[in-house]
Amino acid sequence: TDYNDLYCLFTLVQFTKAGQFFSSGHTNNWAVLVCTSRFWFNYRHVANTLSVYRSVKRLGIPDSHIVLMLADDMACNYRNPKPATVFSHKNMELNVYGDDVEVDYRGYEVTVENFLRVLTGRLPPSTPRSKRLLSDDRSNILIYLTGHGGNGFLKFQDSEEISNMELADAFEQMWQKRRYNELLFIIDTCQGASMYERFYSPNLMALASSQVGEDSLSHQPDLAIGVHLMDKYTFYLLEFLEEVHPASQANMNDLFKVCPQSQCVSTPGHRTDLFQRDPGSVLITDFFGSVRKVEITKDTINLTSPVEPPIQRSGSGDIQIESLTYVDQLPVAEIIHQKPKQKDWHPPDGFILGLWTLILLVFFQTYGIKHLKHIF
């Protein structure tokens, strides 16, 4: 299939859309997928996030370009009858957790502060690379949020909220710092459309699973696991994405049609006024996949001669005479006679005595020697 894709792209270059092919705006893709709910009965939110993760990975975005935040662990939760699995379809048809998953922020680390820091890039210097969103001005970013929400807010971990104004400001910060080329924002919560009402930065496209005043509903429970497995909107979104492959030409208008009211009960909404291109010309793989534009060459390239492995032992002729030894694991005698090392500085023992002597001497000097006679 790879060769087919490359051949298709090659013929495209050759014949018609050469200009359009190389003039597309983005060069790399990132995804920030966040599940904000804790507790076992919110299994479906983790399943939502993992199904989008699975689609995004399948379409080509590597783990190093995905920031996955799961607020609670469902797969290895003690209540899970099938550990290390998270199912999206009842009767355990599809395990979206899989065998090759890398969660960057988990458990208590999923907070509003960490989410906003990831988006704006203002992380402490010791944060590892896998936890950073290292996007640039040619990156297309997909942001997916799911959890419990309301009119103008989204609840994180049952203890704090992010408001739509904070989110809009974060995206404006990203725009001003040139951290994205185009951004697709998808939210699957109750009254999700309220979260994108306040956006004001350019090149943003947003989708939500329900309008203001409507609730997003969950899809189907599994009687063996005992909880609802997915939300309706993301379930149909997953069904739609399963048919997308890296060379697919499906565009955003198809994505807007996912889950009409007859299937979803709530009315999904979308917002494209801040987006510069026409949604019909935006491919799904522009955000969900990482389609690399490859230029095939038939010329031979000369590689440099192979590097010799560096010499590790300098002067192996001289043999070390003293042999090294292992340390005694429990040296009882040494431990008993060990003097505890005082880290805090204490003044030497005689110091206090000397200090008092000095004080007494000064006292008696100022007040005269005659007082001494009275004491002794």
The contact set with another protein (CB under 8 A) reads 1-2, 38-39, 57, 60-65, 73, 75-76, 82-85, 97-104, 106-109, 124, 126-131, 157-159, 290, 292, 307, 309-317, 319-321, 323-332, 335-336, 338, 340-341
Tokens of 41: 């009965």
DSSP characters over 129-145: GGGS----TTEEEEEEE
For another protein, which is the closer residue by CB, 107 or 213?
107
Q: How far is the CB of 22 from another protein (least distance, A)?
A: 19
Q: How far apart are CA 190 and CA 108, in angstroms?
A: 23
Pairing between strand 139-146 and 28-35? parallel
Catalytic residue of the set 35, 190, 259, 264: 190
Main-chain dihedrals φ then ψ at residue 76, nearest 5 degrees? -105, 20
Q: Which are the contacts of 374, defined by CB distance < 8 A and separation ≥ 6?
A: none
For another protein, which is the closer residue by CB, 101 or 265?
101
Q: Which are the contacts of 125, defined by CB distance < 8 A and separation ≥ 6?
A: none
Q: How far apart are CA 85 and CA 71, in angstroms?
A: 16
For another protein, which is the closer residue by CB, 49 or 266?
49
148 an active-site residue?
yes
For another protein, which is the closer residue by CB, 296 or 327?
327
Q: How far is the CB of 183 from another protein (least distance, A)?
A: 21
For another protein, which is the closer residue by CB, 14 or 312?
312
User: 21 and 293 in contact (C-beta within 8 Å)?
Assistant: yes
35 an active-site residue?
no
Q: How far is the CB of 232 from another protein (least distance, A)?
A: 27
Amino acid sitting at position 74? M
Q: How far is the CB of 73 from another protein (least distance, A)?
A: 5
Q: How far is the CB of 192 from another protein (least distance, A)?
A: 22
Q: How far is the CB of 21 from another protein (least distance, A)?
A: 18
- Beta-bridged to residue 141, according to DSSP, are 30, 183
Nearest in space to 69 (alpha carbons), one of 15, 30, 108: 108
User: 1 and 7 in contact (C-beta within 8 Å)?
Assistant: no
For another protein, which is the closer residue by CB, 82 or 371?
82
For another protein, which is the closer residue by CB, 6 or 13?
6
Q: How far is the CB of 281 from another protein (least distance, A)?
A: 24
DSSP characters over 188-233: ESTTGGGGGTT--SSSEEEEESS-TT----B--B-TTT-SB--BHH
Nearest in space to 179 (alpha carbons), one of 127, 116, 111, 271: 116
For another protein, which is the closer residue by CB, 157 or 194?
157
Between 232-242 and 43-58, two packed helices, what is the crossing angle to 10 degrees?
A: 20
Q: The sheet that has 28-35: what strands, in order across it?
A: 105-106, 66-70, 28-35, 139-146, 182-188, 204-208, 269-271
Q: How far apart are CA 44 and CA 222, in angstroms?
A: 11
Q: How far is the CB of 218 from another protein (least distance, A)?
A: 22
So which residues are the catalytic ones? 148, 190
